[in-house]
Amino acid sequence: MGRLNGKVAVITGAASGMGRATAIKFAQEGASVVLTDLNSKGGEEAVSLCASTGSQASFQRTDVTSEADIKAAVDRAVREYGRLDVMFNNAGVAGAVGRLENVKSEDWDRTMAVLLRAVFLGMKYSIPEMRKVGGGSIITTSSLAGLRGVGFLAPYSAAKGAIVTLTQAVAIEVGRDNIRVNCICPGGVNTPLVNRGAPGGEQGAEERMAKMQPIPRAGHPEDIANMALFLASDESQWISGAAFPVDGGLNTGNARIQLPGFEGGYSGPSFER
């Protein structure tokens, strides 16, 4: 306990799934946390869980495609808690799904806005604040699809792959400021974004995902939260520009991700049914 004592973090997409688990984990370890999401109800519930640990937490309704909203979230962290040490660019959607030739241009653009442009904005506005306090940690949720393309998720794969190289490039720029920039590449993690509308719901997804990789269980939001905690803490102070698979060994090529039912369209936030 106390691995993040005195640190202040902003987490996007914190109302559910990996973002919510990370916010709670950060709070348990002593961080003050600004949780952001479009899902106000889920965000406020997550804030209550964070506050129950004894740490400070607040919710900021945020559209990560809005530059003004991202800036406002960073500004709130500094205004309420005095500094910014950790930025976790986590908000995501599956986005445009289906065969590439059937993807609508506007769905491609929406996918890139949520998955890539938002990461740029999170980095852009957190770097100056971290520089003021002598350093910090920027963490982004990429995906195993950013390391190995997934069919019928080409826009998603492209955006997540761009996050990996963006992470490397920005790490070079800000290393002298003691700002570390890394990304996490989850494999099959059983979250509302994945299991909504799936046959058998959460349990059905759990069973199917347990067969995807060498370690025979589905990934859970806490698995990603544990890696984010390490990257946010001083234990990773000499690690930057890296992409970390957290996937039960799926990156070995033991299995291929299968996404039945993704015939086409646009898959939005996890709270939209």
DSSP string, 83-144: ---EEEE-----EEES-GGG--HHHHHHHHIIIIIHHHHHHHHHHHHHHHTT-EEEEEE--G
Residue at 172 is within a domain: yes
pLDDT in the model for residue 39: 97
Residue 211, pLDDT > 90, answer no
How do residues 128-150 score in pLDDT, each as one tens digit? 999 999 999 999 999 999 999 99
Residue 273, pLDDT > 70, answer no
Report pTM.
0.91
Average pLDDT over all residues of the chain: 93
Residue at 147 is within a domain: yes
How do residues 56-67 score in pLDDT, each as one tens digit? 999 999 999 999
Residue at 217 is within a domain: yes
Residue at 273 is within a domain: no
CB atoms within 10 A of CB 269: 20
Q: Closest Cα partner for 38 from 73, 3, 5, 80?
A: 73
pLDDT in the model for residue 30: 98
CA distances from 208 to 89, 201, 211, 257 (A): 28, 11, 6, 11
Token pair in block for residue 198: 């799936």
Residue 199, pLDDT > 60, answer yes
CB atoms within 10 A of CB 232: 29
pLDDT in the model for residue 254: 53
Q: What is the distance between the alpha carbons of residues 40 and 44, in angstroms, rounded to a whole number?
A: 6
Number of domains in the chain: 1
213 exposed, middle or buried (CB, 10 Å; 0-12, 13-18, 19+)?
buried
* CATH code: domain of residue 114: 3.40.50.720
Q: Residues with Cβ < 8 Å from 56, sequence gap 6 or more? A: 32, 33, 80, 81
Residue at 121 is within a domain: yes
Residue at 271 is within a domain: no
The residue range of the domain holding 200 is 8-265
Residue at 36 is within a domain: yes
Q: What is the distance between the alpha carbons of residues 44 and 41, in angstroms, rounded to a whole number?
A: 5
By annotation, the residues acting in catalysis are: 156
Q: What is the distance between the alpha carbons of residues 174 and 204, in angstroms, rounded to a whole number?
A: 43
Residue at 142 is within a domain: yes
pLDDT in the model for residue 213: 87
- Residue type at 264? G
CB atoms within 10 A of CB 5: 11
